[in-house]
Amino acid sequence: MTYFPDVDDADLVRLHRDLAARAAADGLLDVAYRTVDSPVGPLLLARTPVGLVRVAFGVQDHDAVLTALASTVSPRVLEAPERLDDVARELDEYFAGRRTTFDLPLDLQLLRGFRRDVVLHLPDIAYGHTASYAEMAGLAGSPRAVRAVGTACALNPLPVVLPCHRVVRSDGSPGQYAGGAAAKLTLLDLETRVGVAA
């Protein structure tokens, strides 16, 4: 019956917001997400009740990332922007050059084994500095696992927040990045600029 009057989008927006709030209150919001604009394009932010579980660039296809979260974390996924206000605020401050480290609860459940070791050592590279893949391998305790470090950085579930962009080639060129080479340069430039000004 297409001739029934259609429902108003504003009603659905309001109902959706209330649903997300009630789901969170009832412990049913396993994955809350939102997107934010940034100098490196739209970023998808997703969190569990434990903490931030995923940051993804537009080039990584946000729909595909959400589908992956639904199968690896939980299908109870809802858009709930206000649940990520703190993350959005810290990212804003970072991109504005007013923040050099992140102070957010993280959920590292997507990380296992050596990849986890590598990613957890990323914050050892200070803001405005870089390390080579080989140096990173040493920091993670396996000096010869240079290629595996590259893989770990490429699959980092929390880019920007855990700064895999600070890992560069031994010759100093930026190298690959999940968000694209241009995004990596943007982040390195930002940190160099802010670091010099400080």
Partner 1 sequence: MSVKEPFERVVSVHGATVLRVCRAVVGPVDADDAWSETFLAALRSYPDLPPDANVEAWLVTIAHRKAIDIVRRAARHALPVADVPDRPAAAQGRDLDLWSALAALPTKQRQVVAYHHLGGLPYDDVAALVGGTAAAARRAASDGVATLRRTYPAIDQEES
Out of 36, 59, 77, 126, the only residue in the binding site for partner 1 (CB under 8 A) is 77
Count of C-beta atoms within a 10 Å radius of residue 165: 27
Those residues whose C-beta lies under 8 Å from the C-beta of residue 119, and which sit 6 or more positions away, are 108, 111, 152, 153, 156, 157, 158, 162, 164
> Between residues 34 and 166, which has the closer beta carbon with respect to partner 1?
34
Q: How far is the CB of 52 from partner 1 (least distance, A)?
A: 17
Q: Are 168 and 195 in contact (CB under 8 A)?
A: no
| Residue 164 known to be catalytic | yes
**Interface with partner 1 by CB under 8 A: which range of 22-30, 106-114, 121-129, 162-170?**
22-30
Q: Does residue 74 interact with partner 1 by CB under 8 A?
A: yes
Q: Give the Cβ contact number of residue 105 at 10 Å.
A: 12
Is 22 a residue that touches partner 1 (CB under 8 A)? Answer: yes
Among 67-75, 109-117, 126-134, 159-167, the segment contacting partner 1 (CB under 8 A): 67-75
Q: Cα 9 to chain center, whole Å?
A: 30
Write the DSSP string, 114-146: HHHHHHHHGGGS-TT--EEHHHHHHHTT-TT-H
How many other C-beta atoms can be found within 10 angstroms of the C-beta atom of residue 156? 24
The residue range among 28-36, 97-105, 159-167, 181-189 that interacts with partner 1, by the rule CB under 8 A, is 28-36
Point out the catalytic residue in the list 46, 140, 164, 178. Answer: 164
Sequence-ordered list of residues with C-beta below 8 angstroms from that of 111, at least 6 positions apart, any chain: 119, 120, 157
Work out which of 36, 51, 60, 76 binds partner 1, going by CB under 8 A. 76
Measure the N-to-C terminal CA separation of the chain; round to a whole number of Å: 65
86 scored as a contact of partner 1 (CB under 8 A): no
Q: Interface with partner 1 includes 24 (CB under 8 A)?
A: no
With CB under 8 A as the contact rule, the residue among 69, 88, 110, 119 that binds partner 1 is 69
Q: Which residues contact partner 1 (rule: CB under 8 A)?
A: 1-7, 11-12, 15-16, 18-19, 22-23, 26, 28, 31, 33, 66-67, 69-71, 74-79
Give the active site residues: 164
